[in-house]
Structures are given as C-alpha cells and as structure tokens.
Structure 1
C-alpha cells in the first residue's frame, strides 16, 4: 500500500471510507452536536485537528519507537494515550479562548478522546502500512470527511425545524433517518460497482 497516491488516500478518507456515513464510527457526536451549525463546525474543527495530529504523532511513535523496540503489542494503548493528550490540549485551548463554544459542545468535546473514528483513522494508517505523508493525509482527509458530513447534517437539522415533522420521528429517529439518506447518497454517488 506504500505506493498509493495522496489523491487516492484523500478521496478514501473524505468519501469512500467516510467514518460517519460509510463506516458508522463516531456517531455519538454526530447525533448529539449536529443540532446547529455553529456547534457542529466547532466540533469538526477539533476533530480535524485531533485526527491529523494523532495520525502524525502515532505514525512517528509506531515507526520509530514501537517497531524498533518490538513493542507493537502496545500500539493500541499508546495510540489512545496520544489521542487523549491531544484532546486535552484542544479542550484547554477551546475553554480558554472560546468559552461559548466550550459550553455549547458540553460533554462531546472530551468524548473525542473515546471517539472510535479518531482511533479508527490511526489504526487504518498502521494496517494500510502508509508512509508518513500518507498517514498525515489520511488523518486530515478523514477529519475533513467528518466535517463535511457534520456540516451537512447540522444544516439539514437546522432547516428541518422550520417544517412540520410528526412527533413520532422528531429528535433521534429523525437524525437517524437523515443519516440513512445521507449514507445512501454517499454510497450511491462515490462507489463505482463494476458490472
């Protein structure tokens, strides 16, 4: 996989292997934060930063420390520690500089550290045997794909408050129905099935 082009990795991360709509990872923040565009964009920015930086740091840690010392069995725990440290950094910066966003994100900001999409990006980098530039590109692309879906979903959910929706599907059922429709659109548009 080391010869995979950066453009292919970018398209994989954003569309083909989209963590929210194709792999269904990280749905907690997807459902909880997409009620308005401002919160969704703040969460997305944090996730892009954490995914890109965790892909970078985890690659360096895995390649230059764990593999030479034959400690690959510690990769999962070390990746979790890296992600948790980056999330703490983001939480500190957001709380200090943008307190309104910090309050609107609530519990979902620290939950980035347990977001399986972030860990999934790092683990896919290792499993795919990506080089440094490829790992960083996939981390960034996966975060960008997350952002696109979060903003689409939040825009649709904000707009849906203006229409009459039966009470039986308001809230969580509505969010999952919208996610289903977005997922079908992604699968049908971006996957080419040979005949």
Structure 2
C-alpha cells in the first residue's frame, strides 16, 4: 500500500489525496509538520518538502505535480486529464494558475512570520493571488457543465478547488467569493464532492521555529 506524507493545511498534499481517492487507490495517510525535527520527509525527498508518496518499495515520489503525473501514468483509470491535447493544455494551465495562487499565499504566510514584514513584498503576493483568482473566475464563468475543462471533473477542478479552499485557511481576509459568485458556486459544488469533503484542510500547529 502507498503511504502519503502530508500536512493538514497543504493544498499541494490535498491535490494528491483527492486524486488518490478519485482513482480508488488505497493509501495510508501520515500527517507531519515538515518544519519539525522529527519529520521523516528528508528520508524520502531530498528537497525536504511535502507531499511525498512513499511506494511499498520505500522509494519516494515527490512534488505534487509530478505525483499527479505519476499517478496518471501508473493508474490511468479513471483519467483525471481530458482526451484531447488542447484540453490537456487547458487543464495544465489551470493547474499553473492554481499553484501560483498557493505559492503566493505560502510566501505571504512566511513573510508575516518575520519580525519586520515587508509591506511591498506582501502587496506583491496579494496581487498575484488576486490576479490568479480573477483568472479562475473567468474560466468558471465560461465553464461547461460546471467543470472547468471539457465538461467533466478532472485535474483542473482539483487544482482550482484546492487553491480556493486554501485561501480560507491562510488568507481569509480576501473575500473572493463575494466578488466572483460563479467561482464561489463552483467551489461549493466541489467541496460537497466526497473526495473534497474527506480532505478539508485545517491549520496545523507549528511548535518549532520556522527557518
């Protein structure tokens, strides 16, 4: 059985958890704080980042985008990518936008831990988040059948949905749902899906200094 090393608020780990559930792949969830000295992450990922999918052989598959690609190759059914090359590119573009939102929120979180946070830096990350959400909203308004690409659930919806829910955990002051009702409706539909409902992110207590 696979083991997934994850952190509870991580949208990157949540993407993988959702994909595993949607594909019906059994796995054991191991929750860690990657900043703590007792984390097992370095044993499986030389970059010391989560998530990590640990294979029965003990080998680690890491970085969420690559894990999702690996799962699609090794466990192709049901597919999370669309059928045509153009639609695959569209799904990948949504993933880039969603990951960019999450990356900016992570940078915001860390900057706010500093003794003297840089307001220009914070403002820049906010612009990235706002621009990314606006781009997702444009796609949600044009979505076919309630899903972002090709009229069916897949990678684009997983990426966008996890990014949007992550905002409630780390950037709650941004009321994007009031500004983009179509995107809010899409997010609500996704969060009611069993794979999303089973992986709702929650803040995690960090007891050691983040360095």
Query: Is the shorter-chain TM-score for this pair beyond 0.5, marking a shared fold?
Result: no
| TM-score calculated relative to the size of structure 2 | 0.28
**TM-score, normalisation: structure 1:** 0.30
Higher relative contact order (CA 8 A, sep 6+): 1
**Which of the two has greater strand per residue?**
2
Greater helix share, structure number:
1
